Structure 1
Amino acid sequence: MNKVGIGIIGCGNISSAYLKAMASFDILDIRGLADLNAELARQRASEFNLQARTVEDLLADPAIEIIVNLTVPKAHVAVAMQALDAGKHTYSEKPLGINFAEGKRLAEAAEAKGLRIGAAPDTFLGGSHQTARAIVDSGALGRPVGGTATFMCPGHERWHPNPDFYYEIGGGPMLDMGPYYITDLVNLLGPVAKVAGFAFSPRSERLITSQPRNGERIPVHVATHVAGAMAFECGAIVQIGMSFDVAGHKHVPLELYGTEGTLIVPDPNHFGGQVELLKKGGSFEPQETTQPYADGNYRSIGVADMAYAIRSNRPHRANGTLALHVLEVMEAFQKAAESGTTVTIETRAERPAPLSGSLSETRLAA
């Protein structure tokens, strides 16, 4: 199968994980890296033995079919629109956009041009999450009833060298971490129908304790503690809590409840982890992960799946419809908090096709 040319725009913190993982997929041919900070692009290119180029050069290259957009959230849609205008498919880091309106505009532009869009997260394609999907599909839980989704931490200013964007519009725990949890839940349960929620920010500024900006204070422009519930079309009701204001907690990342059992799903920010199943009347038992992509950080498998889908003329899994649905759901929590009402979700996303085999023969070491 012919390789698919890849151009990467954005060479920040997350790009190294993408570049390392892309080496495990033979179908991906990285043709160059670009960043508004040309020196940063040169450094990253040197690190991975690739070519640093300008954005304009990447967009004009006919050998590049997919632009992988690793810019900050507020630039996601603008860069993706540039890619579409250049006739390229585009795959963005999460979230698809900083609000539903701009995400919808991007999706409509892609449809009009006959081009594909995709977006992270792709962690739901990891072996542990696909194992959980297979358990749900087997009927072992009975009818889905509910669940919990929990991400809570003291804030990313503890470790990120430039954490400002986490507290700007388009950031916050819901748009930053919510995509992992909600995307995995759609993978497991199907689309969300309604959202109820509350949101607030207990601090107007944050103190950076990471290097090199230790001691600097940054303003907060978004809610940093969000809680609520999602009613899924299947009937299940899942409680969710996303926070940058919690010192510590004992909740597991994801639990699913059914009439016949309970499923513990590992951290959806990772590809592996222990899946546990409790059948009614029994106790929690570890489940063997038989699906591939559970043994490392495959943060680019969504790009590889898109590339294979282009060559095979089939739908890709981390697709724009899924990402737009998740974006609408995330935005609905703020709307529900402001209005004091339940918000009906207008978009619909099919559960992505399960992944039970390898996209390529290569493995990425843990």
Structure 2
Amino acid sequence: MAGPHGQPIRVGILGAGNICSIYIENLQADPMFDLVGIADMVPERTQSRAEKYGIEGMTPDAMIQRDDLQAVVNLTPPLAHFGTSKALLQAGKSVYCEKPLAFTLAEVQELVALAEASGLRLGGAPDTVLGAGVNTVMDLIQGGHVGTPVGYAAHMLCGGHESWHPDPDFYYQPGGGPLFDMGPYYLTALVHWFGPVASVAASARTVRDHRTIGSGPRAGTVFPVEVMTHIVCTLTHHSGVIGTLTTSFETPSHELPHIEIHGTGGAIRAADPNGFGGPVVARQPGQEWGEMPLGSGPENNMRGLGLRALYEDASSPVGAPRVAHVVEIMAAALESAQQKSVLTLATRPACGWDSTARA
């Protein structure tokens, strides 16, 4: 697929932070797209990236108003995602946004309405759900390797990002925290495998109220923690599968698998959903754990592939319905922890394990 008159789709990148390099490299290598330029609130960042990759540097306002761009990849900080995505859609541009697209279901629905009214494409990360690792697990589940899926235990456990990130403050500000930062990788995969979540119950806490930056020019700077940093969720899917997801910035040492799936006939340990590849290991009763051959999909870091997926398949896992559902799950989990209650979800995208598809 190409743009008007058979030409590549002209794309801009909004946000020149740490993650932009892999997006730039992958988009420049994809003949579907013509990466025109990059914009950032920090002019020095814009200039540095533009010069390095041979693209045009511009201000964010200029990118939003450019009438020769058909799509923009939004890599701004999380708190800016909703506002900038809204401005881009209002300016007639399709949007692929880093996670999370927004922080409430109402915000996502507002963006969806804007996109639909103008015939624009809208979706967001993570596109790791398109990789060989996630696809292999899906093939095993649909192939009956675990029998009937029963549950899972998912773990995103680390000590936080301040040890390596030069500007980690936003991870600990409203809209940050381990659930909204890393949860989308796990939840997008889990929803892809087991279908939409019907209800959420969660508990949460914050252990440390300050963090210290460990690298870069601001090393030694102390900053406050304003979010929950250890969240445990119980997720009940419409398919009947019940699982737990723990996300934490308080646990630097552990040996737990990223995701372990249990069924009536076996188990699977999925690879890190923050990557595209493996390993994926599995076992059945009476057998040892064994590594499974990877199926279709990329294994290397193909961030930006989601933009292509948006143009090729309206029902893609990176499309707005799935993104909205994941945002609703996360927002409901934090609300559940605060209210100490079980919350029922409103969205129900069509996806996930189908027992009728098994041979």
TM superposition score category, shorter chain reference: over 0.9
Distance 1:307 1:29 in 2: 14
Q: TM-score, normalised by structure 1?
A: 0.91
Aligned to 2:344: 344
What are the residue-to-residue correspondences of 1:1-366 with 2, within 5 Å? 1-2=1-2, 3-294=8-299, 296-309=300-313, 314-351=314-351
Distance 2:249 2:70 in 1: 37
User: What's the Cα RMSD here?
Assistant: 1.6
Closer, same or farther in 2 for the Cα pair 1:150/1:326, shift >3 Å?
A: same
Unmatched runs of 5 consecutive residues or more in structure 2: 3-7, 354-359
TM-superposed CA distance for 1:163, in Å, is 0.3
TM-superposed CA distance for 1:43, in Å, is 0.5
Closer, same or farther in 2 for the Cα pair 1:162/1:119, shift >3 Å?
A: same
Query: Percent of counterpart pairs with the same letter?
Result: 37
Letter matched to residue 58 of structure 1? M
TM-superposed CA distance for 1:113, in Å, is 2.7
Letter matched to residue 320 of structure 2? G
TM-superposed CA distance for 1:22, in Å, is 1.9
Deviations 1:226-269 (A, max 9, x none): 01210111111111110001121010101111111111100000
- Residue 203 of structure 2 aligns to a residue whose secondary structure is strand
Aligned to 1:360: none
Distance 1:352 1:114 in 2: 27
More moved, 45-54 vs 84-93 = 45-54
Q: TM-score, normalised by structure 2?
A: 0.93
Distance 1:37 1:350 in 2: 40
TM-superposed CA distance for 1:352, in Å, is 7.7
- Residue 56 of structure 2 aligns to a residue whose secondary structure is coil
- Residue 45 of structure 2 aligns to a residue whose secondary structure is helix
Deviations 1:324-343 (A, max 9, x none): 10011011111111111111
Contact 1:27 1:307 in 2 (8 A): no
Deviations 1:26-54 (A, max 9, x none): 21211111111122111011111111123
TM-superposed CA distance for 1:178, in Å, is 0.3
Letter matched to residue 308 of structure 1? E
Distance 1:352 1:121 in 2: 17
Contact 2:196 2:348 in 1 (8 A): yes
Distance 2:131 2:245 in 1: 22
